[in-house]
Amino acid sequence: MKSKHGHITGSLHGLAYHIQLSDQYDATEDMRRYLRRRFQDIGLKIGQPNWFTKGNIERLVQAGSGQFVYVATVFKYMSERRGSPAHRLKTVLNWTADQGQVTKPFEALNMLYTSILLNAKEAYEAFDTHSGHNLLLLLKAFHMRARGDLLICHPYHIHVLLNLENDALEILTLDLHSLVCLKEEELGIMELTMYHKSFFKFMDKESPTKDLFVSDPCAFMHLAKCCIQRIIESPELHSYELEDMSVSEQRLITAITELDYLASAIGIDNEIVDFTHKGGWQKIDMVLSKPLGFGHIFKDHWDDAFDWINFLGHSADDLKKGRPEAAAIMSKYLKKWKHFFNESDSD
């Protein structure tokens, strides 16, 4: 907070400083001051006050092109527990344009985001060799949830659907602490949050390094495949009461309610056909055909149930041309569920 004289007081005193803003405001000097103070703090912590030079700071400030978020991200990256600040500083300097080379606004920031992601991806793949998780797909899924494009209302459900271990997000973000943070939600489930809207936007546009970009349809395809896999591998449902369900039964319920991701996925016809041959639709039918099945599964949110049937209907229509037999089986069950749904809704 500020006193009546404009000085910062309270818990932020000594940790922040006042930035004067006007039409002529130039962030360069504030960026320079910010990095100098933060780098000095790092020097005190590691016992190496001369670990950086004035020239290092100047090069980073120039690379930031007036974007304060650039130097803030650089500082967070230097402060991460994994690795030496001096080594990370050298790495970031290698990512910047040569001195005197003019860059477009946000170009250096995008390059910084790209480089941090590439390093994190390589480290994650070297560390996590058994789970089969894809760092970029997981990051995209949590990004889409934050964006409001995934209707999964509770973070626990996305963990269940993606079959994430308890410490999966901690491992996922080991080298991403400069871009994202974890917050503990209900039931002790960790939720991923992005620090700055510029990284939020970065995740939505194709990166110059195309291997880093995950499109929305590709992410929906992954989520749909997860739903299919959870349904096939889960046991039959014995109870609708959450406290009485096994973890596998909870996965089954979540996977059924989220299966309409099929309508937004691409290139998933073979998986739908395989799901059909393995009795996936019959398994769903056994759940929905029980007394009050729709009401329990969709928590009496009839609009959600109606949309679910319609979205799966679009998937069946898309399947008809290439795989008519599987589409016919799928359509048969959808017709049956629509009848059940109409009866339940009228009650």
Do 295 and 344 touch, CB atoms closer than 8 A? yes
**Range of 144-148, 177-181, 315-319 with top mean pLDDT:** 315-319
| pLDDT of 155 above 70 | no
Which residue would you say has higher pLDDT here, 73 or 150? Answer: 73
pTM of the complete model: 0.80
Percent of the chain predicted with pLDDT > 70: 83
| pLDDT of 12 above 50 | no
At CA 258, angle to CA 255 and CA 263, rounded to 5? 125
Q: Which amino acid is at 289?
A: S
Task: Determine the pLDDT at residue 157.
Answer: 78
What confidence category does residue 160 fall into, taking pLDDT thresholds of 50, 70 and 90? confident
At CA 111, angle to CA 109 and CA 113, rounded to 5? 70
Which residues in the chain belong to E strands, given as ranges?
Answer: 180-184, 190-194
Contacts of 195 (CB under 8 A, 6+ apart): 73, 76, 178, 179, 180, 181
At CA 211, angle to CA 210 and CA 213, rounded to 5? 65
Q: Which amino acid is at 138?
A: L
Q: Which amino acid is at 213?
A: F
Element (H, E) at 207: none
Domain boundaries of the chain, sorted by first residue: 10-105, 126-211, 215-346
Task: Determine the pLDDT at residue 248.
Answer: 84
Ranges 103-107, 116-120, 209-213, 308-312: which has the least confidence: 103-107
Q: What is the pLDDT of residues 269-322, one digit of tens each?
A: 999 999 999 999 999 999 998 877 788 888 878 888 899 999 999 999 999 999
- Cα separation of the two ends of the chain: 57
What confidence category does residue 2 fall into, taking pLDDT thresholds of 50, 70 and 90? very low
| pLDDT of 262 above 90 | yes
